[in-house]
Amino acid sequence: MSLETAIHAHLISKTEITAIVSNRVLFGDVEPSREQLPQIVYQIHDNDSVSTLDGTPVDLHWPILEVEIRSDDPADIDTVSDLVRRSLIELETGATIGAETIEELSLIDAGTDEATVVIREDDDTVEVLRRTILARVGYRYDVSAVT
């Protein structure tokens, strides 16, 4: 299981989140779509593998997790953002999700509102509100797969 899959599994395991966004927890650079609101879109901004001075790989990675909550309803933005933050805080002290061991998770930015995205479909306009949550994730992985 990759970190991407582990984060997805963690978020969709929260019934409070899926009650609002259903299965619309998406990984990658996904464009907003009216039919897909509200939604959670997340990305992992990975850093390079770390090695010691003698070249021995270190099994601890510290990528940035970017979670974007999108909706056309401000109440959904507030509620889902709060639920996502709480679900990430559960990982702060370490957790195992599938085969991934999360050693630490630190919220960097607990919620920054961004400019709205306007979707125009036929003569209808929808403003999509976005809030971004950033976290640094320390997790262990199998170094033998890198060597």
CB under 8 A, 24+ apart: contacts of 8-16: 8/42, 9/97, 9/98, 10/87, 10/90, 10/91, 10/95, 10/97, 11/40, 11/42, 11/84, 11/87, 14/83, 14/87, 16/83
**φ and ψ at 77, to 5 degrees?**
-60, -50
Signed CA dihedral, 112, 13, 7, 119: sign only: negative
Q: What is the pLDDT of residue 123?
A: 64
**φ and ψ at 132, to 5 degrees?**
-110, 135
Max Cα separation, the chain? 62
Flag residues of the chain having pLDDT under 70: 1, 47-52, 55-58, 92-94, 110-123, 141-147
Half-sphere exposure of 66 (CA within 13 A, CB side): 12
Q: What is the pLDDT of residue 6?
A: 87
- Using CA atoms, how far apart are residues 53 and 13, in angstroms rounded to an integer? 40
Q: What is the pLDDT of residue 120?
A: 62
Per-residue tokens: 26: 């998406």
